[in-house]
């Protein structure tokens, strides 16, 4: 699974990254979590950060969901 | 222990340490001249005392009635207003007048957190409506965010608060149009790649969200004018709306987001208030009056220029300008500083330059300074 966290490096984006990593770890799935900071690449997906992209699909925009919620999103995609 | 180490390592702490360092250094350098040659320790103590007094006054008089409801409003905007739905007005094929108008006011909704401004700006510029609306958004975003406008009106007076909001909206459209005009050829050549935006569905009816925000807003006004009984009545209505139309998760998310803003902004604001208090003893009124007193072209220009270079953490510009006006800064220069300050700072100029290129960035910065100067003069002459 390809997971991308889009963010500018601000606090909320950092938090989304950490929670996503935790969710992946707790699920024990094979997934690559990438932190995308490049503004050009971010705007290919969305204009609002933080955002979560799972397998090239924008799953979360502009908010930081809880670890459980991220887990549910990841399992949906599997 | 680990938490403490992380905190010592954080930007917040380092920034604050830097601010206090500069303050004490300035006190030791200038203190003897201003305060009539006192010993270093007593100078530092004087600074601390004045800072502390301003902090206490702030907490009692402003924080509770004004900022607490304002934080709840900011939190609610972050959760209940669909930010992505605003983005559809920035597409490549939207009519220009619509893009400009939405760009100039949507900062109130989109820019509650400064870290969201740059991706939106880049998106509008490179993949959407183009340079003009993007620049309009870039400027108005930080300048009209709800917290800043409410706090300015409360601390500096309703007139300057309104002037800040209105000025910022007009200003952003003018700067956007001028930029689009200067670079019109380049814009025409640019191939516009339409972004695939994922727009979430609206879960609630628009009018409920509107009523919800109106109630919140009136709670703010009644609290700020100390009509607590009315505020309590409004709170009951608010509870009824929440019970009827929102789920428990909505409310929880709202609280989380509100708390996030409190955590993000409060430490900086307290430091800003403290520094403003210390400035009052350190800066002789004659100096302030000489440079930024009255409403001359020079005073307004200087205020805009300093404002453009200086970095203000969210909202800290307000108590600092309050202290400066008490020392003799004119109303016009105060507005000029408010209009140029939050929108620009050295660090964010560098980012803007990276996205737009040096030439456009320089023109943008000059436009902001010139416009802020003019607005300050007009305000100082006709409205103050």
pLDDT tens per residue across span B55-67: 877 776 666 677 7
The answer to whether A7 and A13 have CB atoms below 8 angstroms apart is yes
Question: Domain total for chain A?
Answer: 1
**Nearest residue of chain B to residue A49 (CA atoms):** B116
* Other beta carbons less than 10 A from residue A78's beta carbon: 10
Alpha-carbon distance B91 to B78, whole Å? Answer: 22
The pLDDT of residue B113 is above 60 = no
Q: What is the pLDDT of residue B194?
A: 46
The pLDDT of residue B195 is above 50 = no
List A34's β-bridge partners, or say none.
A4
Indicate if A4 belongs to the active site: no
Lookup result for tokens 């149009």: B177
Nearest CA to B369 among B286, B316, B303?
Answer: B303
Q: Tell me whether B198 touches chain A (CB under 8 Å).
A: yes
**pLDDT category of residue B231 using cuts at 50, 70 and 90:** confident
> To the nearest whole angstrom, how far is the Cα of B353 from the nearest Cα of chain A?
13
pLDDT (tens digit, 9 = 90+) per residue, B261-296? 788 778 877 888 888 888 877 778 888 888 888 889
Catalytic residue chosen out of the listed positions A3, A5, A6, A13: A13
Look up the domain containing A17 and give its range: 2-77
Q: A59 in helix, strand or coil?
A: strand
Alpha-carbon distance B123 to A45, whole Å? Answer: 10
Chain B residue numbers with beta carbons less than 8 Å from the beta carbon of A12 are 113, 115, 260
Report angle CA B359, B364, B369 to the nearest 5 degrees: 130
Rg (CA), chain A: 11
The answer to whether B74 and B147 have CB atoms below 8 angstroms apart is yes
Report angle CA B201, B72, A66 to the nearest 5 degrees: 55
pLDDT (tens digit, 9 = 90+) per residue, B83-97? 666 777 777 777 888
Q: What is the pLDDT of residue B174?
A: 92
Read off the CATH number of the domain in which A48 is found. 3.40.30.10
Alpha-carbon torsion B31, B37, B40, B41, what sign?
Answer: negative
Task: Scan residues 200-219 of B and list those with Cβ closer than 8 Å to A.
Answer: 200
Alpha-carbon distance B22 to B17, whole Å? Answer: 9
Task: Give the pLDDT mean for B171-198.
Answer: 73
Task: Give the pLDDT mean for B311-340.
Answer: 87
Max avg pLDDT among B60-64, B236-240, B246-250: B236-240
Alpha-carbon distance A46 to B86, whole Å? Answer: 13
Burial classification of residue A77, based on how many CB atoms lie within 10 Å of its CB (0-12 exposed, 13-18 middle, 19 or more buried) = middle
Q: What is the pLDDT of residue B105?
A: 83
């Amino acid at each position: 699974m390809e997971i991308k966290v889009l963010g500018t490096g601000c606090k909320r984006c950092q938090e989304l990254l950490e929670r996503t990593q935790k969710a992946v770890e707790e699920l024990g799935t094979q997934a690559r979590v990438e932190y995308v900071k490049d503004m050009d690449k971010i705007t290919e997906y969305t204009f609002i950060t933080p955002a979560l992209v799972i397998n090239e699909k924008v799953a979360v925009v502009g908010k930081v969901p809880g670890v459980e919620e991220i887990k549910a999103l990841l399992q949906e995609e599997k | 222990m680990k938490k403490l180490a992380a905190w010592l390592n954080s930007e917040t702490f380092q920034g604050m340490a830097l601010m206090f360092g500069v303050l004490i250094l300035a006190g030791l350098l200038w203190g003897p001249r201003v305060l009539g040659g006192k010993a270093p320790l007593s100078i530092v103590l004087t600074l601390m005392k004045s800072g502390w007094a301003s902090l206490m006054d702030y907490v009692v008089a402003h924080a509770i009635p004004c900022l607490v409801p304002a934080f709840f409003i900011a939190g609610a905007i972050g959760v209940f207003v669909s930010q992505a739905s605003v983005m559809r007005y920035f597409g490549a094929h939207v009519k220009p007048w619509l893009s400009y108008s939405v760009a100039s006011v949507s900062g109130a909704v989109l820019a509650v957190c400064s870290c969201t401004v740059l991706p939106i700006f880049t998106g509008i510029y490179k993949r959407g409506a183009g340079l003009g609306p993007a620049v309009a958004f870039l400027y108005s975003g930080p300048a009209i965010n709800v917290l800043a406008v409410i706090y300015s009106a409360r601390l500096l007076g309703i007139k300057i608060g309104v002037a800040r909001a209105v000025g910022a909206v007009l200003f952003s459209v003018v700067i956007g149009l001028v930029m689009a005009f200067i670079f019109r050829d380049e814009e025409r050549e640019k191939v516009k790649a339409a972004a695939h935006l994922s727009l979430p569905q609206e879960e609630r009816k628009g009018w409920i969200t509107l009523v919800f925000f109106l109630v919140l807003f009136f709670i703010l006004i009644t609290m700020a004018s100390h009509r607590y009984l009315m505020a309590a009545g409004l709170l009951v209505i608010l509870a009824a709306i929440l019970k009827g139309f929102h789920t428990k998760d909505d409310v929880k998310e709202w609280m989380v987001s509100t708390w996030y803003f409190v955590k993000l902004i409060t430490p900086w604001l307290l430091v800003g208030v403290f520094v403003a208090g210390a400035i009052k003893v350190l800066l002789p009124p004659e100096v302030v009056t000489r440079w930024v007193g009255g409403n001359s072209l020079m005073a307004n220009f200087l205020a805009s220029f300093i404002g453009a270079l200086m970095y203000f953490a969210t909202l800290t510009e307000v108590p600092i300008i309050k202290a400066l006006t008490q020392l003799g800064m004119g109303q016009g220069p105060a507005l000029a500083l408010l209009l140029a300050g939050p929108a620009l700072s050295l660090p964010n100029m560098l980012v803007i330059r990276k996205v737009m290129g040096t030439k456009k960035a320089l023109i943008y910065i000059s436009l902001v300074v010139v416009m802020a100067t003019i607005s300050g003069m007009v305000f100082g002459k006709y409205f103050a």
